[in-house]
Amino acid sequence: MRTAFSGPRVRVSGIPSEEYRRQLAKEEKARLAAKKEELGEEGMRESGERLAAAIASAVDPPAEVLESFPLADTESIRFLPLTSYNYTSELQPEGFDLRSMPYRYSPLRQKNGKNTPHMK
């Protein structure tokens, strides 16, 4: 596992635009309307009954089964070292200066009174 995650990586975070969010919501509303029409009243009723039966048949495992699994000691967890860089970091990754990138990432920016990731 260490081999798979030992090479250099870049993480890019972004947020879909408000216009894209509205487009996705419109497409989902249309998809649901088409599915409802495809199923019809009888199909919707049958689907509802199948869902209700599945929920009713859900059974939690007995306590003795849950208690039979050993719990690991949290002191045994080995955390891997992690170094984080951004364009404001004094130390930059070797061969990849983030300050030269055309985009700036502010980890938290106020939007509607909430902290949100933001790409400039």
Rounded CA separation 32/26 (Å): 10
pLDDT band at 110 (very low <50, low <70, confident <90, very high): very low
Top pLDDT among 91 and 33 is at 33
Least confident of 3-7, 30-34, 65-69, 78-82: 3-7
pTM metric for this prediction: 0.39
- Residue 76, pLDDT score: 85
Beta bridge partners of 118: 106
pLDDT of residue 92: 82
Contact 99, 87 (CB under 8 A): yes
Four-point Cα dihedral 64, 70, 75, 78, nearest 10: -130
How confident is residue 41, by pLDDT bands cut at 50, 70 and 90? Answer: very high
Residue with tokens 């250099």: 8
Q: Can you name the residues that pair with 45 across neighbouring β-strands?
A: none
Give alpha helix (H) positions in 1-120.
18-57, 63-67
74 HSE (CA, 13 A, CB side): 0
